[in-house]
Amino acid sequence: MYAYQNNQLLASYRVAIGKKGWETPQGKFKIIQMIKKPKGENPWNRKISAPGINSPLGESWIGFWTNRKDYIGFHRMENI
């Protein structure tokens, strides 16, 4: 992933592309939300997990796409 501001490259990061059926879309996106210690929501059963290091989302969430039901964003996966 490349992060730009005013057409200047600020940083680049290695990222995973999601799992089969949940692939990360390609394109240009803007960050729409940044959350420290986010609560996680299971997309299949809508169960909410507590925030923190053991959350499926890890310690932070950077959202860049939504259809107002589901969200796509960057998060840390401890088991990778």
**Per-residue pLDDT, 9:** 96
Q: Is residue 66 part of a domain?
A: yes
Q: What's this model's pTM, rounded to 2 decimal places? A: 0.65
Q: Is residue 27 part of a domain?
A: yes
Q: Kindly tell me if the per-residue pLDDT of 8 is higher than 90.
A: yes
Q: Is residue 56 part of a domain?
A: yes
Q: Is residue 24 part of a domain?
A: yes
Q: Kindly tell me if the per-residue pLDDT of 6 is higher than 90.
A: yes
**Per-residue pLDDT, 77:** 62
Q: Is residue 2 part of a domain?
A: no
Q: Is residue 61 part of a domain?
A: yes
pLDDT tens for 35-58 read 998 988 877 788 888 887 777 788
Look at the block and give the residue holding tokens 């200047």.
8
Q: What amino acid occupies position 74? A: F
What's the domain range around 42? 19-75
How many CB atoms are closer than 10 A to CB 71? 15
How many CB atoms are closer than 10 A to CB 52? 13
Total number of domains in the chain: 1
**Per-residue pLDDT, 79:** 54
In whole angstroms, give the CA distance from residue 8 to residue 16.
24
Query: Quick check: 73 and 33 in contact, CB under 8 A?
Result: yes
Q: Is residue 35 part of a domain?
A: yes
Q: Is residue 9 part of a domain?
A: no
In whole angstroms, give the CA distance from residue 11 to residue 57.
22
